[in-house]
Amino acid sequence: MVGLLSACGSDNSSSSTPQTLPGTAEPASGDHTTDSGGSITAGPTESTPGSTTSSDSGTTAPASSTTTASSTRCHTSELTASVGGNDPGAGQENFPINLTNSSQRTCTLRGFPGAAFVDASGKQLGPDPERSSESPTTVTLAPGQQAWAGLTFSNPEISGARTATPAALLVTPPDEKDSLKVKWTQGKVPVSGNFSTVSLTVVRSGAGS
């Protein structure tokens, strides 16, 4: 799993209990691109900045990509998350999940984030996301810089998949267990039936368009 940014809108309905997310709803290190994972306990952390309904404003300097490990990985508490605007194409809905370094130190991200659509009670909606076959790179984020991963699914009106409208998207940074909760305002998503698969890409530098 799903996501993602410019500041995202505050969701005042953050869950009071941890979320248990199996499989690819949990994050994966860049060193385990086919990791299917077990279950994790992800306690959502509210991601407080800006709106999830619009694309990134482009005012944040893009992150640089490097293969060196000059800094330690970014922890959930040092990041904020948001979802950029939809960039549809060929029957697909495509959203960038943006992660911003909100700390005062430089840190790194590598691999796949975890993602899960949840309802207002925190229950996961739909199957775990699938992961792309991309090779990960280490993304270095100075304070204020961003990285993003792509979240994609088939348009349910075209595919005929059964749908639900999530209250939020839980985003778990690579190699972390705690998640960031982003209010979902983009409408229905596929949760079962044919073509209900949600896909995630690896984290890459910059802000998603």
Residues 112-121 pLDDT 10s: 999 999 999 9
User: What does the alpha-carbon distance between residue 165 and residue 191 come to, in Å, rounded to a whole number?
Assistant: 9
The angle formed by the CA atoms of residues 103, 183 and 101, to the nearest 5 degrees, is 15
Strand partners, 8: 50
Q: Is the pLDDT at 109 greater than 90, yes or no?
A: yes
> What's the distance, Cα to Cα, between the start and end of the chain in Å?
20
Q: 117 and 189 in contact (C-beta within 8 Å)?
A: yes
Q: How far apart are CA 176 and CA 79, in angstroms?
A: 11
Do 45 and 76 touch, CB atoms closer than 8 A? yes
What are the phi and psi torsion angles at 23 (to 5°)? 50, -135
Is 3 in contact with 169 (CB distance < 8 Å)? yes
Q: Are 177 and 40 in contact (CB under 8 A)?
A: yes
What values do phi and psi take at 43, rounded to 5? Answer: -85, 110
* pLDDT tens digits along 11-34: 333 333 334 444 555 665 544 333
Tell me the whole-structure pTM to 2 decimals: 0.70
Tell me the pLDDT tens digit for each residue of 46-105.
554 433 333 333 333 444 444 344 459 999 999 999 999 999 988 899 999 999 999 999
What residues contact residue 157 under an 8 Å CB cut-off, 6+ apart?
Answer: none
- pLDDT tens digits for range 142-185: 999 999 999 999 988 888 888 999 999 999 999 999 999 999 99
What pLDDT band is residue 186 in, cutting at 50, 70 and 90?
A: very high
pLDDT number for residue 26 = 64
Q: How far is CA 158 from each of CA 3, 125, 152, 166, 191, rounded to the nearest angstrom?
A: 21, 20, 14, 19, 14
